[in-house]
Structure 1
Amino acid sequence: MVTFHPATGVNVTEFSDHAWQHTANLQQAILTHPFNEELAAGTLAVDRFQFYLAQDSRYLIGFGRALAVAAARAPEPADVAFFAGAAREAVVVERALHEGYFTRFGLGEDDLAAIETSPTCLAYTSFLLATAQSAGYPELLAALLPCFWIYQHVGSDILGRLPDGADNPYRAWIDTYADEDFETAVRTCREAVDRAAASADEATRARMLAAFTRACEYEWLFWDSAYRREPWPTAAFR
């Protein structure tokens, strides 16, 4: 899609389209990462998925806080409602999905507490919270978008590859992110990002692209760290 950029007086591609194209290699690497390939096949080791769930449940708290900041800064009432609702979804609804898997896999509070927050999880949440506190509203939206969009992209890709009637132990996770309502949320977030970019100057758009790209890199790292059950390399020195 092409729009008129008020700052430069030229036609430009929508920011979200450009950002996705800019990170195309990363998006493909996420789809083909062993974590997601094995999740799609239903062969992902339970301990890897457990580690992922523990990290994601902690990440979602930071993500929800960053979304709440976006809601507080949003200039449009509709965006206030969207980001406030997304913050609630992250902390309440998605964590409920995790808790269902915790029960299924027999994970109790003590088991979760024994899984330390990984370096990547801490780094990603710290990046989002630092962006929320120190960057402008357009950059914050650009940093938040990949978590929505990439999960929808991964969930839809996996669902499209599943044979009819396939028995996959991770089907509830897949269905959550391939759901039409989640796709609508992604579209709404993209529209908010594109509106912010359309009225921004080139320096701000460059910072937005950097924030989007870095968040995409953290998404890949998050899958990879879960697959490796990433430890702290300094643990031996404690």
Structure 2
Amino acid sequence: MITQFIENAQPYWQRYVEHQFVQQLAQGTLPKACFQHYLKQDYLYLFHYSRAFALGIFKAKNFKEMAVPRQTLDILSQETQLHLDYCKQWGISEQEIADTPESPACIAYTRYLLDVGMTGGLAELYAAITPCAVGYVQAADYITTHYPRLPNNPYQDWIDTYSSADFQQAATETADFLTALCQSLNTNQLAHIQNIFTTATRMEVNFWQMGLDLS
């Protein structure tokens, strides 16, 4: 079903995983300031992304459903510290991140996630969450498939992280959970889920663009 969601989200999905930001990461030509801006906003995004999974725990109808967002939230808590450590490598202190105002793109995207989760159920929430998890892995796959590995690419760690087996597995699990949540939905309900998935994809395009524009 995730393949169907992606196909129906075109042309936005292709613009997302093959964005100029992604291409410049692959070529090692992305300006340092753009990547630093992206890293700071991505940390702020991770805070609200974690809130969305916490909301998923609340929205679960049973312990089995609760286990999936709970496990992801535990992983995100660990990754947040790793993200801070990565930011330090790029000359960004934790205090600097704390003092950074959220960009309009970050606000729009994260509040959309939370609004969808508050007004809908788990299926709606995961329709909004899944493009991030799956899209980053596909963007990394796009890079490794279409671009040669450069010996001195400053963004190679980022590429390696999102093309790793761990992230691929996490993305697959997220997509599979969304598929399971949609099994009992009728045509109208699936159309609603598709709209959420497509909207979140558009938000991802804007997030990359934010990095390029330093907006």
After TM superposition, the score normalised by the length of structure 1 is: 0.83
- Counting only pairs closer than 5 Å after superposition, residues 110-149 of structure 1 correspond to structure 2 as 110-149=95-134
1:182 counterpart = 2:167: yes
Q: Distance in 2 between matches of 1:35 and 1:62?
A: 22
Q: Measured at CA, do residues 18 and 34 of structure 1 come closer, stay the same or move farther in structure 2, by a change above 3 Å?
A: same
Which string of whole-angstrom CA distances, capped at 9 and with x for unpartnered residues, describes residues 116-140 of structure 1?
A: 2100101111001111111122111
1:55 counterpart = 2:45: no
- Counting only pairs closer than 5 Å after superposition, residues 166-177 of structure 1 correspond to structure 2 as 166-177=151-162
Which string of whole-angstrom CA distances, capped at 9 and with x for unpartnered residues, describes residues 166-199 of structure 1?
A: 3211111111111112111111111111111110
Which string of whole-angstrom CA distances, capped at 9 and with x for unpartnered residues, describes residues 178-226 of structure 1?
A: 1112111111111111111110122221111111011000000000011
Structure 1 counterpart of 2:137, which letter?
A: Q
Compute the displacement of 1:76 (Å): 5.9
Compute the displacement of 1:143 (Å): 0.9
Q: Measured at CA, do residues 156 and 79 of structure 1 come closer, stay the same or move farther in structure 2, by a change above 3 Å?
A: farther
Structure 1 counterpart of 2:75, which letter?
A: E
Q: Between Structure 1 and Structure 2, how many residues are aligned?
A: 215
| SS at structure 2 position matched to 1:127 | helix
CA RMSD of aligned residues (A): 1.8
Larger radius of gyration: 1
Q: Distance in 2 between matches of 1:46 and 1:200?
A: 45
Compute the displacement of 1:50 (Å): 0.7
After TM superposition, the score normalised by the length of structure 2 is: 0.91
| SS at structure 2 position matched to 1:24 | coil
Which string of whole-angstrom CA distances, capped at 9 and with x for unpartnered residues, describes residues 29-72 of structure 1?
A: 12332211111111111110111011110111111111122233
Compute the displacement of 1:165 (Å): 6.0
Query: 1:138·1:196 contact (CA, 8 Å) conserved in 2?
Result: yes
Give ranges in structure 2 of 5+ residues lacking alignment: none
Structure 1 counterpart of 2:196, which letter?
A: A
Structure 1 counterpart of 2:191, which letter?
A: A
What percentage of aligned pairs have identical amino acids?
30
Q: Distance in 2 between matches of 1:156 and 1:202?
A: 32
Compute the displacement of 1:78 (Å): 4.7
- Residue 216 of structure 1 is matched in structure 2 by 201
Kindly indicate whether structure 1 or structure 2 has the higher relative contact order, using CA contacts under 8 Å at least 6 residues apart.
2
Q: Measured at CA, do residues 218 and 17 of structure 1 come closer, stay the same or move farther in structure 2, by a change above 3 Å?
A: same
Q: Measured at CA, do residues 100 and 162 of structure 1 come closer, stay the same or move farther in structure 2, by a change above 3 Å?
A: farther
Compute the displacement of 1:101 (Å): 2.8
Give the structure with the higher percent helix.
2
1:81 to 53, 60, 67: 67
1:228 counterpart = 2:213: yes
1:152 to 113, 137, 140: 137
Moved more, 18-27 or 145-154: 18-27
Moved more, 98-107 or 33-42: 98-107
Compute the displacement of 1:109 (Å): 3.6
